[in-house]
Amino acid sequence: MKRRDFLKSAGAVAATAAVSAPSVIDTAKAQSRQETMLIVSESGPNNLDIHGVGTNVPGYEVSWNCYDRLISHEMKTGPSGQPYYDKDKFKPELAEDMNVGDMSATFKLKKNAKFQDGTPVTAKDVKWSLDRAVSVGGFPTFQMAAGSLTKREQFVVVDDHTFRVDFARKDRLTIPDLAVIVPCIINSGLVKKNATEKDPWGLEYTKQNTAGSGAYKVSSWVAGTEVILERNDAWVGGPLPKTKKIIWRMVPSAGNRRALLERGDADISYELPNKDFVELKSAGKLNIVSTPFSNGIQYLGMNVKNAPFNNPKVRQAVAYAVPYQKIVDAVLYGLGQPMYGKAPGAATQVAWPQPHQYNTDIEKAKKLLAEAGYPNGFETTLSFDLGFATINEPTAVLIQESLGQIGIKTTINKIPGSNFRTELNKKVLPLYLNVFSGWLDYPEYFYIWCYHGKNSIFNTMSYQSKEMDAFIDGAVTAAANGDKATYEKDVKGFVDLAFTDMPRVPLFQPYSNVAMQKNVSGYQYWFHRRLDYRALVKA
């Protein structure tokens, strides 16, 4: 056959195929489209196992949906009517019954629970999984320790379907810590088979494969491109999810994610700039759900070890100079909870986050700065993480301008995402923007990490105060013993002190924003702020 003839006939075949194919494909397509949820986001997982080394946040989402925990949270109604996890109410997931005693908790496992390869879930698997979480090091071990779960001896197999957790000490965070993502139950038999001497916990295997009993399993994963999850029809952890298949595509360009939503091609997206969310909301074609980060705050941190920020008056002056409302309006487009301007004389609440008593008041700021011995101000640098530049950059510029009015000249220091944490951990940046949010939504949890003198990595200011430590330790003990009066007194104590000493200025409580098609329902807000596919429904 000559080349030209070949091209001609190929063209003809292509044309007939193009005409005849659609009718079949489109019905199949429509049907699968109905049972499939297409999610688009900026980045995808780098590891399917939260116990892995350096698993990123998208990886948590996979773990949450593919693995079960012993217990999970009930839902309640959130601030704008959306389903919101209830931090105080637990429901069994792999366990059918939880019995919390004085120094231990006993769990009865569901007898019909099976891993996705068909092997039954036993107490041995539970022990192996929790042992793994406290042993692999890094983030999972750290998170377990936050609930006083540190030693393998704390996890006891009573019989095949009964499992006990012994408490290291009285800590009210122990039970909530069993409902976070980390203590997921893994198919120990399957993973052990794929473990090697160098890798006794089989981290290499679970990096690429899901080995759980959860509602979904990953059927295909092309790193950086897409993740496809299929429903596990034998799931017993809860009511069978309505969505059969989840296609999660990585679309780096925010503009395209928005276009995909508006054209109706994508079902759900998060990680859009606030401006887009506001515009989409007012256009009314999509459902936009905005929820304040639970236990999270964006703040302006100051290094209190070195001059000039070692002077509380300087820090208060800064707190009076920050243009709070401008940041909420111009940077967040209103999608953020203001954290300033508590009415004078209003009582401090037993809650966190809560607004502080400062307002933007340049005169007062100037006066405080003069009292501190800096009538003409000083020069410093203001650093931020370039990875979150859409929020950080305009915020930094507004603060720079405002501080300029009281004589503090700031140079803006943009640090690339890969380097920001390194710089922050050195604890030498004089002035910087950062976010902290805790999975466990308790005021003392936030304060242990961010303000306590044991100087955790999140106490980025190197703040040290005996008085503060006493309040925090008091609240922790009081919570463990159920001493409500002392607890409330201590919480108010540490909040008041944090606002007087002001080592970091809370700017606002960020919102977690999700945009979805009108026919998609069942979005739930979780402490981890990722999607729970199990509740999603497409009409």
Partner 1 sequence: MAIMLKRMTLIIPNLIGVIIVTFLLTRALPGDPAAYFAGPAATKESVEQIRKSLGLDKPLIVQFGSYVSELAHGNLGTSLTTGQPVLTEIKNRLPASAELTLFGLILSIVIAVPLGILAAVKQGSWIDHTCRIVATAGVSLPVFFTGLLLVYVFYYILGWSPAPLGRLDVFASAPTQITGFYLIDSLVTGNWSAFRSSLNQLLLPGLTLCIFSLAPIARMTRASMLTVLSSEFIRTARASGLDSRTVIITYAFRNAMLPVVTTLGMVFSFLLGANVLVEKVFAWPGIGSYAVEALISSDFAPVQGFVLTMAILYVALNLLIDLLYGVIDPRVRLEA
Residues forming the site for partner 1 (CB under 8 A): 10, 13-14, 17-18, 21, 25, 29, 32-33, 36, 38, 40, 45-47, 52-56, 137-139, 141-143, 207-208, 222-226, 247, 249-253, 255-256, 259-260, 262-263, 265-266, 416-419, 421-422, 425, 457
Q: Considering beta carbons, is residue 236 or 515 the nearer one to partner 1?
A: 515
Pairing mode of beta strands 504-517, 520-521: unpaired
Shortest CB 17 distance to partner 1, Å: 4
- Nearest Cα to Cα of residue 133 among 60, 201, 188, 183: 183
Q: Considering beta carbons, is residue 245 or 342 the nearer one to partner 1?
A: 245
CA distances from 430 to 53, 306, 393, 522 (A): 31, 8, 17, 44
Shortest CB 208 distance to partner 1, Å: 8
Asked whether the beta carbons of 190 and 115 are under 8 A apart, the reply is yes
Q: What stretch of H or E contains 220?
A: strand 216-222
Q: Considering beta carbons, is residue 305 or 421 the nearer one to partner 1?
A: 421
Q: Considering beta carbons, is residue 97 or 265 the nearer one to partner 1?
A: 265
Q: Considering beta carbons, is residue 10 or 103 the nearer one to partner 1?
A: 10
Asked whether the beta carbons of 243 and 252 are under 8 A apart, the reply is no
Shortest CB 311 distance to partner 1, Å: 28
Q: Considering beta carbons, is residue 13 or 307 the nearer one to partner 1?
A: 13
Shortest CB 148 distance to partner 1, Å: 16
User: What is the rounded distance in angstroms from the CA atom of residue 462 to the CA atom of residue 472?
Assistant: 16
Q: Considering beta carbons, is residue 139 or 378 the nearer one to partner 1?
A: 139
Q: DSSP per residue over 437-453, as a string?
A: E-SS--HHHHHHHHT-T
Q: Considering beta carbons, is residue 419 or 500 the nearer one to partner 1?
A: 419
Q: Considering beta carbons, is residue 14 or 307 the nearer one to partner 1?
A: 14
Query: Could you tell me the two tokens for 91?
Result: 């429901």
Sole residue written with tokens 């406290």: 134
* Helices 274-283 and 254-262, packing angle to 10 deg: 10
Query: Could you tell me the two tokens for 81?
Result: 């009517």
Helix (H, G, I), strand (E, B) or coil at 85: strand
Shortest CB 456 distance to partner 1, Å: 8
Q: Who's near 525: CB < 8 A, 6+ residues apart?
A: 78, 82, 83, 84, 85, 289, 291, 294, 512
User: What is the rounded distance in angstroms from the CA atom of residue 268 to the CA atom of residue 286?
Assistant: 10
Query: Could you tell me the two tokens for 215?
Result: 């509602």
Asked whether the beta carbons of 45 and 61 are under 8 A apart, the reply is yes
Query: Could you tell me the two tokens for 370?
Result: 């003069």
Q: Considering beta carbons, is residue 79 or 138 the nearer one to partner 1?
A: 138
Shortest CB 330 distance to partner 1, Å: 25
Helix (H, G, I), strand (E, B) or coil at 235: coil
Shortest CB 74 distance to partner 1, Å: 26
Shortest CB 488 distance to partner 1, Å: 29
Q: How many CB atoms lie within 10 A of CB 85?
A: 20
Shortest CB 494 distance to partner 1, Å: 21
Q: Give 22: exposed, middle or buried? Use CB within 10 Å, 0-12, 13-18, 19+.
A: exposed
Shortest CB 255 distance to partner 1, Å: 6
